[in-house]
């Protein structure tokens, strides 16, 4: 009750403050409000438009589907978010997801599957495979972080290199054993059940287990970003590397750890993705980094560095999936979706740039 009162009081005082402004200042404030939130306004208008044209878009099964897709893409965005907070980026993310998904799938095929990649290998325990893919993700993150931190190379060029190396490795990996470059399928039910088994049902619609895993990861990442020294150091380095260094922050260790953490998040995404789609190929994870970067920028993680919230990333991923699912409901061609995605990223970045200019 008291909270409501203070909220109303806050709104009233803001309104009174707005009324006191001159006409020019009022116009500037309104234009700031519109332009800084333009992406949210566009998405809100799009949702209303899609819901009016196709009412099933807001049905329970559709909402559960959107939440599930959000959960599947959230860990990769949480990882990329850290790299963007350092005023960098990570374009190897999607390929790391692909590699880890393929590794997990190859180690978790049923023993009697005719095209099993490793015919003599028994189905391995889930935890062993999970730890193995986490290690792969962490090593790739370590390589990224080392070159960014030690040689002061731009993360774009470092992660472009690792993206190509990882893609080549996926293609080579898929040629091993009996596989001969084929799609990996015939996964053990324990793996697929662990990932996409029913967590609970809402109105008869099953919510998959990976929604819970994503929620747990989000809580962990929120804690790491907001409540640990490492998280505070990450924001300090992203905001101003030299100032952080002068203040006693170990910049090298912070940058390396951010990339290692990102690699681990991509590995988790890969593990989930492998079990979710149950058929992994070299194309698994293709362009996932683009969606993750777009979601982060929409959610307010700025390329200026040192700015971003976990809640913003969750909102960004959710809104982006909402738009993609909505456009599918409208039967928009997959080719056009690429153009729309590109324009969304460009617009989100331009809005981010405007916020920086307005502050400057």
- Where do contacts with other proteins occur on this chain (CB under 8 A)? 31, 35, 38, 42, 46, 87, 238-243, 246, 302-306, 327, 330, 332-333, 336-337, 339-340, 343-344, 346-347, 350-354, 356-358, 360
Q: Which is nearer to other proteins, 115 or 355 (CB)?
A: 355
CB of 341 to other proteins, least distance (A): 10
Q: Which is nearer to other proteins, 1 or 357 (CB)?
A: 357
CB of 302 to other proteins, least distance (A): 7
Distances (CA, A) of 178 to 1, 99, 132, 182, 183: 67, 18, 21, 9, 11
* 279 vs 185: CA distance, rounded Å: 5
Distances (CA, A) of 94 to 76, 168, 214, 262: 8, 13, 17, 12
Q: Which is nearer to other proteins, 38 or 286 (CB)?
A: 38
| 3-class DSSP string for the chain | CHHHHHHHHHHHHHHHHHHHCCHHHHHHHHHHHHHHCHHHHHHHHHHHHHHHHCHHHHCHHHHHHHHHHHHHHHHHHHHHHHHHHCCCCCCCHHHHHHHHHHHHHHHCECCCCCCCCCCCCCCCCHHHHHHHHHHHHHHHHHHHHHHHHHHCCCHHHHHHHHHHHHHHHHHHHCCCCCCCCCCECCECHHHHHHHHCEEEEECCEEEECHHHHHHHHHHHHHHHHHHCHHHHHHHHHHHCHHHHHHCCCCHHHHHHHHHHHHHHHHHHHHHHHHHHHCCECCCCCCCHHHHHHHHHHHCCCCCCCCCCCHHHHHHHHHHHHHHHHHHHHCCCCHHHHHHHHHHHHHHHHHHHHHHHHHHC
CB of 350 to other proteins, least distance (A): 5
Q: Which is nearer to other proteins, 175 or 340 (CB)?
A: 340
CB of 21 to other proteins, least distance (A): 17
Q: Which is nearer to other proteins, 72 or 244 (CB)?
A: 244
Q: Which is nearer to other proteins, 4 or 331 (CB)?
A: 331
Q: Which is nearer to other proteins, 140 or 327 (CB)?
A: 327
Q: Which is nearer to other proteins, 60 or 346 (CB)?
A: 346
Instruction: Tell which residue, 85, 120, 122, 99, has the closest CA to residue 286.
Output: 99
CB of 67 to other proteins, least distance (A): 24
Instruction: Tell which residue, 73, 61, 75, 134, has the closest CA to residue 104.
Output: 134
CB of 331 to other proteins, least distance (A): 9
| Crossing angle (nearest 10°) for helices 251-277 and 210-227 | 170
CB of 269 to other proteins, least distance (A): 25
CB of 47 to other proteins, least distance (A): 13
Q: Which is nearer to other proteins, 34 or 139 (CB)?
A: 34
CB of 305 to other proteins, least distance (A): 4
Q: Which is nearer to other proteins, 115 or 309 (CB)?
A: 309
CB of 342 to other proteins, least distance (A): 9
């Amino acid at each position: 009750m008291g909270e409501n009162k203070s909220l109303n009081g806050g709104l009233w005082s803001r309104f009174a403050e707005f009324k006191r402004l001159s006409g020019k200042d009022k116009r500037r404030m309104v234009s700031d409000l519109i332009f800084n939130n333009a992406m949210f306004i566009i998405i809100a208008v799009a949702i209303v438009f899609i819901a009016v044209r196709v009412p099933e878009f807001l049905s329970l099964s559709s909402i559960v589907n959107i939440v599930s897709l959000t959960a599947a893409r959230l860990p990769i965005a949480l990882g990329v978010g850290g790299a963007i907070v350092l005023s960098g980026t990570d374009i190897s993310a999607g390929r790391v997801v692909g590699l880890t998904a393929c590794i997990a799938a190859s180690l978790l095929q049923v023993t009697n599957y005719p095209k099993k990649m490793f015919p003599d290998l028994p189905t391995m325990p889930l935890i062993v495979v999970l730890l193995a893919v986490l290690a792969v993700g962490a090593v790739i993150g370590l390589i990224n972080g080392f070159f960014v931190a030690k040689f002061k190379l731009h993360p774009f060029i470092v992660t472009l290199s690792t993206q190509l190396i990882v893609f080549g490795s996926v293609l080579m990996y898929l040629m091993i054993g009996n596989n001969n470059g084929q799609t990996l399928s015939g996964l053990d039910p324990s793996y697929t059940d662990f990932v996409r088994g029913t967590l609970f049902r809402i109105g008869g619609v099953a919510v998959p287990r990976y929604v819970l895993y994503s929620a747990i990861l989000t809580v962990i990442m929120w804690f790491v970003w907001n409540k640990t020294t490492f998280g505070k150091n990450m924001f300090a380095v992203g905001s101003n590397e030299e100032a952080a260094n002068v203040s006693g922050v170990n910049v090298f260790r912070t940058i390396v750890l951010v990339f290692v953490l990102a690699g681990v998040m991509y590995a988790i995404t890969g593990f989930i993705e492998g079990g979710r789609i149950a058929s992994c190929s070299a194309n698994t994870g293709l362009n996932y980094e683009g969606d993750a970067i777009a979601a982060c920028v929409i959610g307010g993680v700025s390329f200026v560095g040192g700015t971003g919230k976990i809640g913003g990333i969750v909102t960004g991923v959710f809104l982006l999936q909402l738009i993609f699912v909505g456009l599918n409901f409208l039967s928009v061609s997959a080719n056009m979706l690429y153009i729309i995605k590109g324009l969304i990223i460009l617009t989100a970045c331009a809005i981010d740039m405007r916020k920086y200019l307005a502050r400057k």
